[in-house]
Amino acid sequence: MRNATATPALPLGDDALILSHRLGEWAGNAPVLEEEVALANIALDLLGQARVLLSLAGDEDELAYLREERQFRNLQLVEQPNGDFAHTIARQLYFSTYQELLFEHLATTESELAPLAAKAVKEVAYHRDHAHQWTLRLGDGTDESRVRMQRALDALWRFTGEMFEPVEGLETVPWPALHDSWATRITHTLEQATLTIPDGPRRGGWTAGTGRQGLHTESFGRMLAEMQHLHRSHPGATW
Amino acid sequence: MVTTTALEAELLALAGSVPDPELPVLTLAELGVLRGVQLTAPGRAEVLLTPTYTGCPAIEAMSADIEQVLHDHGIPEVEVRTVLSPPWTTDAITAEGRRKLAEFGIAPPRPTGPAGGPVAVDLTLRCPHCGSTDTTLLSRFSSTACKALRRCESCREPFDHFKEL
């Protein structure tokens, strides 16, 4: 395996890969058929992005299937379990808003990530719109949907600070400005959805570390075991 | 800019005539995904192909079909390379391609706005079956990543819309 940590394609590729896998877990379980198809399509977009990014970092299959938990550099946010539908939508809202802003910036740079960013940002605009529309429906919906949406936003809030920690190799990204744009967009959506902006710690000494450093939360190991087990059980197998 | 030879133009036309594996009414040329064909040595061609969506699974079938068609035309070595830049947009679908989509029952994409702008999903779209503009969005994602699912309120038929990218 090449020195995969040298390129920022690895952390961004890991974000896309892990979120893609999580969304894929909805197949057969989504509340309605249209959502099943929507979540699978979003997962497919992310998988496509992951393949391009991980191929920039090394061999895509080796990187996806043969690394250990601590070698993954994805955000802790994307590895969080699907929870109820509101949790999945909150995770989508936080992440797609971040990814769209980051890719918008990267698309304008000379980075090797620019072609992928320019391509993917158009796909991510649909992901963000999907999450935005659902946040409005659930937040401004029934009493039950409103409670659940707020609960999901609050629960995942503590994983959002990590998104704006500088990433090695992405020195041109204006992280504080990216954060401000993110906060503005999230605030706009939540206000429109008559929801409350969560408040609480998002970074600092309370946390054991970040996904970008290879430190992950409890459920990630189990997810990896499922994602990797076929490839590890049958090395070199092909269709 | 590399000058295109007559043979390269012929090969480009051949590769462009390959039907899209998921939308067989369209050719790759009409879909606008073919970026060029170059002879890098006698008997060796390089084909540049761009995906509609980054994760589009049809790209592998497209590559195999292009290789086959060029092999059959006497080119033993064919390499299909995927290029991302500049990104494909639905504006690359030709007028003939749009006409065929509508005929096939898929509402063609509208011209796109500037990149990074809001996603326009609420503007009126015409039903490909009855022509009514009274249609509503059922889901932003449909049978493939590139389509949205809509329903016509006049004839009550659901239909796919090739959404703008």
Whether residues B165 and A49 touch (CB distance < 8 A) is answered with no
The string of pLDDT tens digits covering residues A175-228 is 999 999 999 999 999 999 999 999 887 776 566 678 999 999 999 999 999 999
Would residue B87 count as lying in a domain?
Answer: no
Residues of A in contact with B22 (CB under 8 A): none
Instruction: Find which of B53, B147, B150, B151 to mutate to test the A interface (most A CBs within 10 Å of its CB).
Output: B53
Say what percent of chain A tops pLDDT 70.
Answer: 95
B128 in a domain, yes or no? yes
Instruction: Select the residue of B85, B141, B163 nearest A115 (Cβ to Cβ).
Output: B85
pLDDT at residue A208, as a whole number? 67
Residue A1 — very low, low, confident or very high, per pLDDT cuts 50/70/90? very low
Which stretches in chain B have pLDDT values below 70? 1-3, 113-123
Report the helix count and the strand count for chain B, using DSSP H and E.
4, 7
Q: What is the pLDDT of residue A193?
A: 98
B-chain CB neighbours of A9 within 8 Å are none
Quote the mean pLDDT of chain A. 93
**CATH code of B49's domain:** 3.30.300.130
- Residue that terminates a domain, selected from B82, B113, B145: B82
Per-residue pLDDT at A205: 59
For residue A46, give the chain B residue with the closest CA. B55
Q: Which domain holds residue B101?
A: 94-162
pLDDT of A75: 97
Note the pLDDT of residue A209. Answer: 78
User: What are φ and ψ of residue B158, in 5° steps?
Assistant: -75, 155
Q: Do A123 and B88 touch (CB under 8 A)?
A: no
Domain count, chain B: 2
Assigned superfamily of A4-233: Ferritin, core subunit, four-helix bundle (1.20.1260.10)
Q: Are A95 and A235 in contact (CB under 8 A)?
A: no
CA distances from A104 to A112, A120, A121, A157 (A): 14, 9, 6, 23
Query: Do the domain assignments include residue B118?
Result: yes
Q: Are residues B77 and B99 in the same domain?
A: no
Q: Is the pLDDT of residue A231 over 90?
A: yes
The angle subtended at Cα A122 by Cα A216 and Cα A55, nearest 5°, is 50
Task: Indicate if B59 and B103 belong to the same structural domain.
Answer: no
CB contact under 8 A, B84 and A119: yes
Per-residue pLDDT tens for A69-104? Answer: 999 999 999 999 999 999 999 999 999 999 999 999
- B51 touches A at CB < 8 Å: yes
Mutate to test the interface with B, among A34, A37, A89 (most CBs of B within 10 A): A37
